[in-house]
């Protein structure tokens, strides 16, 4: 984090917890979902989490908040800085590139498995999702496409039918979601994204295992190359 970057109190979208369940587990789940919903790489400055504020918003004492923060820190989502507080953790550029490479391996294997096990209707759903944005520049540059892009990649993982692969990609996806949201409208990436997605869908429809796996891997590694080329990537984000 930059020593001169402005500091912000991170505002999370939270709902009060249900007293019938374990507060620590609920607090962990609520905070993790809220962090996942943030554009953590697009927001400027340091994102500080205020225990007192979180306690009030969730309707619990600070103890389950602290216990939840311990779990989130172990998973790499927050960092505790002595005498400064708890901050949402953003990866360095090098760490981001490494995450993208790992994601490429996971999602390409998911695509391979999808050609073997996904239902025709599930694959047709991917085509319907993307066809809404083909041929219209305004649609491609909209926030709706950014959301559809995220949904597409989530669906590829889900269509693998592999529970363990889904679990392994879960925490990584939180960062991948934020990275894709940050980069999708840079350098005409949205237009290229749609073309790539349609080729992937065609390979899935043909049940072309090797092509689907290769296309998904290349698509994601192209994102890594894009990040690598950006000298000012994450500049000003803390």
Of the listed ranges 81-85, 114-118, 124-128, 195-199, the least confidently predicted one is 81-85
Question: Does residue 227 register a pLDDT over 60?
Answer: yes
pLDDT digits (tens, 9 = 90+) for 105-134: 999 999 999 999 999 999 999 999 998 888
Lookup result for tokens 């363990």: 164
Contact 55, 65 (CB under 8 A): yes
**In angstroms, rounded to a whole number, what is the distance separating the alpha carbons of residues 158 and 132?**
21
Strand partners, 49: 86
- Decide yes or no: CATH 3.40.1410.10 for domain 93-229: no
Question: Does residue 8 register a pLDDT over 50?
Answer: yes
Distances (CA, A) of 58 to 51, 52, 65, 99, 229: 10, 10, 9, 31, 41
Q: Under 8 Å CB-to-CB from 92, ≥6 apart: which residues?
A: 234
> Please, what is the average pLDDT of the chain?
87
pLDDT digits (tens, 9 = 90+) for 25-79: 899 999 998 888 887 887 777 889 999 999 999 999 999 999 999 999 998 899 9
Instruction: Specify burial of residue 94 (Cβ count, 10 A radius: 0-12, 13-18, 19+).
Output: exposed
Question: Does residue 142 register a pLDDT over 80?
Answer: no
Looking at residue 1, its pLDDT comes to 45
Band (pLDDT 50/70/90 cuts) for residue 140 is low
Q: Under 8 Å CB-to-CB from 234, ≥6 apart: which residues?
A: 41, 90, 92, 93, 96
Query: Where are the CATH 1.20.120.530 domain residues in the chain?
Result: 93-229
Instruction: Specify burial of residue 183 (Cβ count, 10 A radius: 0-12, 13-18, 19+).
Output: buried
CATH topology of domain 7-88: Arc Repressor Mutant, subunit A (1.10.10)
Query: Where are the CATH 1.10.10.10 domain residues in the chain?
Result: 7-88
Looking at residue 236, its pLDDT comes to 40
Report residue 191 as tokens. 């237009």
């Amino acid at each position: 984090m930059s020593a001169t970057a402005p500091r912000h109190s991170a505002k999370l979208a939270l709902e009060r917890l249900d007293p019938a369940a374990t507060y620590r587990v609920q607090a962990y789940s609520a905070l993790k979902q809220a962090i996942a919903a943030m554009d953590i790489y697009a927001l400027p400055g340091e994102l500080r989490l205020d225990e007192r504020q979180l306690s009030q918003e969730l309707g619990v004492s600070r103890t389950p908040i602290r216990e939840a923060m311990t779990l989130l820190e172990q998973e790499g989502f927050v960092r505790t800085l002595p005498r400064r507080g708890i901050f949402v953790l953003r990866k360095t550029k090098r760490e981001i590139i490494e995450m993208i490479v790992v994601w490429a391996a996971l999602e390409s294997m998911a695509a391979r498995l999808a050609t073997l096990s996904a239902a025709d209707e599930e694959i047709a759903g991917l085509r319907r999702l993307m066809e809404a944005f083909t041929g219209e520049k305004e649609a491609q540059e909209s926030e709706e496409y950014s959301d559809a892009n995220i949904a597409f990649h989530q669906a590829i993982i889900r269509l693998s039918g592999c529970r363990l692969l889904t679990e392994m990609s879960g925490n990584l996806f939180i960062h991948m979601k934020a990275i894709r949201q940050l980069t999708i409208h840079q350098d005409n990436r949205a237009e290229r994204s749609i073309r790539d997605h349609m080729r992937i869908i065609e390979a899935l429809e043909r049940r072309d295992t090797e092509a689907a796996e290769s296309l998904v891997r290349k698509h994601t590694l192209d994102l890594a190359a894009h990040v690598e080329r950006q000298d000012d990537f994450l500049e000003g984000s803390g």
